[in-house]
C-alpha cells in the first residue's frame, strides 16, 4: 500500500514543476529582460499607490510583477471570498508538508510507522500541497487577465509588443508562485 501511495504521489509534484518551468520560469527568462515603455499617467491605477513601477522604462519582468500584484489587490477588493480561498490554498501548500514531516518524525521515533510509510506520507503531503495550489491557480490567472484587459483599455503602452511582454510576465509570475515552497526550493527557484 505504501508503494502505491508513493507511486501516485510522484506525478502531481513533477507535473506542477514542469508546468511552473514552462509557463513561469521560461517566460520570465525569455520575455522578462525586455525593456518596456509605459505611460505612467495611464498605468498608475491609483496615484497614492507606491508599489507600481516608478519609471516609464522598466523591464517587462518588473512591470509584470506589479501588474500581477495589482491584479491580486483588485481581486481582494472585487471578490474577497475567492481571493481568500486562493490564499488558504497557498497556506495549506506551505504548511502541510513541514507539518507532515514533523508528525512523521515523531511517529518514526516512537516506532509506530515504518520508514517506507514515512516516505509515502511525506510525498503524499507534497502531492496534496501541489494539487491544492495548482487547482486554485485558474482563478488567479483569470484575475490577471482582467487586470491586463484594464491595462489594454487604458492604453498604457505605446507598443503592442511591450504590452504583450508585460502581460505574459504577469501570468508567469502567477505560475511561478503556484508551487508550494518545498517544490520551489527543490526546483531551485526559492
Interatomic CA distance for residues 66 and 63, integer angstroms: 5
Percentage of residues in the chain having pLDDT higher than 90:
58
Question: Is the pLDDT score of 116 beyond 90?
Answer: yes
**Residues in a beta bridge with 57:** 37
Interatomic CA distance for residues 180 and 59, integer angstroms: 27
Interatomic CA distance for residues 27 and 172, integer angstroms: 6
Interatomic CA distance for residues 98 and 133, integer angstroms: 16
pLDDT in the model for residue 50: 53
Interatomic CA distance for residues 75 and 84, integer angstroms: 10
pLDDT in the model for residue 47: 42
- 8 Å CB contact between 53 and 162: no
Task: Give the least confident one: 28-32, 55-59, 100-104.
Answer: 55-59
In this predicted model, what pLDDT tens digit does every residue of 120-153 receive, in sequence order? Answer: 999 999 999 999 899 999 999 999 999 889 888 8
Structural domain count of the chain: 1
**Residues in a beta bridge with 37:** 57
Q: Is 179 exposed, middle or buried (0-12, 13-18, 19+ CB in 10 A)?
A: buried
Interatomic CA distance for residues 188 and 185, integer angstroms: 5
Look up the domain containing 97 and give its range: 2-187
Amino acid at each position: 500500500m505504501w508503494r502505491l501511495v508513493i507511486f501516485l504521489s510522484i506525478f502531481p509534484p513533477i507535473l506542477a514543476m514542469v508546468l511552473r518551468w514552462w509557463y513561469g520560469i521560461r517566460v520570465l527568462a525569455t520575455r522578462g529582460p525586455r525593456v518596456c515603455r509605459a505611460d505612467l499617467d495611464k498605468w498608475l491605477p491609483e496615484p497614492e499607490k507606491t508599489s507600481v513601477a516608478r519609471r516609464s522604462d522598466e523591464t517587462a519582468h518588473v512591470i509584470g510583477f506589479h501588474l500581477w500584484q495589482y491584479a491580486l489587490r483588485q481581486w481582494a477588493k472585487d471578490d474577497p471570498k475567492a481571493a481568500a480561498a486562493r490564499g488558504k490554498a497557498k497556506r495549506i501548500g506551505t504548511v502541510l508538508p513541514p507539518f507532515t514531516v514533523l508528525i512523521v518524525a515523531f511517529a518514526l521515533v516512537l516506532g509506530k510507522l515504518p520508514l517506507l510509510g514515512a516516505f509515502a506520507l511525506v510525498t503524499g503531503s507534497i502531492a496534496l500541497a501541489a494539487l491544492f495550489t495548482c487547482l486554485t491557480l485558474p482563478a488567479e490567472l483569470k484575475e490577471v487577465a482582467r487586470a491586463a484587459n484594464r491595462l489594454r483599455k487604458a492604453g498604457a503602452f505605446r507598443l503592442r509588443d511591450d504590452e504583450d511582454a508585460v502581460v505574459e510576465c504577469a501570468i508567469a509570475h502567477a505560475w511561478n508562485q503556484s508551487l508550494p515552497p518545498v517544490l520551489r526550493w527543490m526546483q531551485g527557484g526559492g
